[in-house]
Every structure is written in structure tokens, then in C-alpha cells.
A and B are shown apart, each in its own frame.
Chain A
């Protein structure tokens, strides 16, 4: 079956512009995560959605970052007024949740802020 998909695969933007990243989780997966991965570094937790519960936003680095999820489907991560330090790969993952279980990652969106 289809895995987690993300779009766009690559995004180049100018400093100060807003960007929107999209994630389509595996159908039926109630949990959805966003992570940031800077070049050569580990995965930094950003936000977690579980069903209709309030999202865990504790990893969002600033108020320029926000994310939404419609029900148990698509999620969008929005970065406003992008800065060069926002350049990274943004990974989305989903799982059947909420108990600990397999995380299925998408291929990521590579964001470059000039």
C-alpha cells in the first residue's frame, strides 16, 4: 500500500517568505509527527497529532512555525517569515498510535532558505 508522502520534495525560498509543507499519512494512522533534520544532525521533534486530541506543540522552535491536521488525514506545516536557519529536511511520520508503535517516515521536504 501507499506509504507516507510529502510535498514538495524540494523547496527553495527567499528569506522572509512563507512556506507550506504537506504530509499525507498512511490511511488509518491516527498519529502524525513532524520532525526537522538539519544537515548531518539528528531528528528534532516539532509537533505531534493524535486523533482529535489537542496537538503536542512543545517542539515548535518559534511562533513562526505552525501546523494543522484535518481529522486523521493531511497535515500542513507552515513556516512564516523564513530564516536561513530554517533550512533543513522536514520529515513527517505517521503511526497507528497512540501506544508506542512503528513510525513510518515520508521522504522529507528539503527546504533551502536563501
Chain B
């Protein structure tokens, strides 16, 4: 089955700096890659996603890149703000297996004011 690895497990950045979180996946059949933000005491919320037919997607300060050949994808947050502090999860999905999502182990991001 699919195996998703996520690095780093913790990340601290100064407010205004950029943060990058990287994930790798094992199954080349994966075709959908969402990123989730989980704030303390809440369920994860989708913040951005990318499908395998594109290499990059941006939404304001957040961007995701996908390298299908290397089987890795990354989340980039620019001009970080304290409210960006949360745990971020990447995931990979293989549609033909019934839409099961395989999650990374999470990155705890702290933005220092």
C-alpha cells in the first residue's frame, strides 16, 4: 500500500520568514495530494490541494509543488504569521482504491512573533 513520509516533524520560524514542509509517497498511482492544517483541539482543515496533472498551485501565501517523477510534494508558506502556527498534514490518495487517504505524520509549525 501507499506510504507517506513527512519532514520535518517540528519547525520553528520567525514571523515573516518562509516555511517549507516536504512529503514523499511510494505509490506512483497516487493522483491527489491535499494538505491539512490542524489547530489545537480541532479537526484538520483542508488548506490547499494538488492533482497529479499539475506541478504547482498557489493560493495567496500558500503554495504546493508536486514532482511526480521523484514522488514528492511540498507545502510552502511565505510571510508567515503567528496564526499559521498549527500542525500540518500532507496526504496522498489513490482514487481507484476507494478514495482512501494516506496521511503523513504531521509537522508542528511554530511562528515566533
**Interfacial residues, chain A to chain B (CB-CB below 8 A):** 4, 31, 33, 35, 41-43, 45, 48, 50, 53, 56, 91, 93, 95, 97-108
Q: How many residues of B contact A (CB 8 A)?
A: 25
The 6 closest A-B pairs by CB, nearest first: A105-B43, A100-B32, A42-B105, A43-B103, A100-B93, A105-B44
Spell out B's residues near A (CB within 8 Å).
Answer: 6, 31-32, 34, 36, 41-46, 49, 51, 89, 93, 95, 98-106
User: How many A-B Cβ pairs are below 8 Å?
Assistant: 63
Q: A102 and B34 in contact (CB under 8 A), knowing A41-B105, A42-B89, A48-B98?
A: yes
Q: Are B100 and A48 in contact (CB under 8 A)?
A: yes
Determine chain B's interface SS by DSSP, over half rule: strand
Query: Are A48 and B99 in touch, CB under 8 angstroms?
Result: yes
Bound Cα distance from A48 to B41, whole angstroms: 23
B46 touches A97 (CB 8 A): no
Q: Are A91 and B44 in contact (CB under 8 A)?
A: yes
Q: Give CA–CA (A45, B93) in the complex, Å.
A: 12
* Cα of A101 to Cα of B95 in the assembled complex, Å: 9
